[in-house]
Structure 1
Amino acid sequence: MLMASLSMCAFLTTAQPKAKLNLEEAKKAIAESNDVYFKAFARGDSSIFIGRYSEDCYIMAPDGPSICGATAPLQFFRIAYHDIGLRNGKFITTAIYGVGNGYVVEEGLWQSFDANNTMFDDGKFLVLWKKTEKGWKMFRDSFSSNRTRK
């Protein structure tokens, strides 16, 4: 019994630092991804944007159906850039939670700016990030506006 307790304590003390390390790694990757996300719109370069998402992603924007799969990021970029006029933005991460092996959830706020650098929308988001062979990628991206739609 004593040996089992000691083994369990040893497991818990080695597992916790690794879990913390993985969460810190995810936080760093998410911050780096968020830093370049809106640069894609400022430069009109969808290739920067597409690289933020996993190939099996779902983008769940307000006022429409989800768009899914490898072509979803390009589809969303085109709508945001050409139809909505998004040219820059800002993410404010308020929390990151470890939810399981290879997944974390990011919670936060966002702001969208047009070509005149005028904020035209803002809201909140939840992103489920997935660790892939290419690094941490957005797997499920859900967001909504704080503005009332008429």
Structure 2
Amino acid sequence: MVTSEEWLYWALLSAVFAALTAICAKVGIQGIDSDLATLIRTAIIIVVLSAFVIYTGKWANPLALSPKTWFFLWLSGLATGASWVCYFRALKIGEASKVAPVDKLSLVLVAIFAFTFLDERPSLREWSGIAMVAGGVLLLAFKR
């Protein structure tokens, strides 16, 4: 049975792995072009995730998916690729402790896009937290 809080555990693990991604990537891109590093990282992800999907028995015929699903997964893949290219370039020339927080400005943008396109309605308390994240990003990203 899935609990209503289970998403939080997965989200926290995501945050831990995202933090490790920034640190490992910063070390790993020394002496290599950031775009090539992104390609290598993506190839590793494809291999590992393919093995995971097959091992867990979750493989299904992708040709059976609806055109709408394909379209939005395609757009999501393009956005992910663009994000990774930009992230690795920023890590190549910037400090990880500044690049990663600015990257997390995506949290603010997700809230705005979800409000606009998905009809999600965060509470005043949630908007306050989102605004604090935005303020924190600005404090971390810009020196005086």
Tell me if TM exceeds 0.5: no
TM-score tier (shorter): 0.3 to 0.5
* Structure in which a larger fraction of residues adopt helix: 2
Taking structure 2 as the reference length, the TM-score comes to 0.34
Taking structure 1 as the reference length, the TM-score comes to 0.33
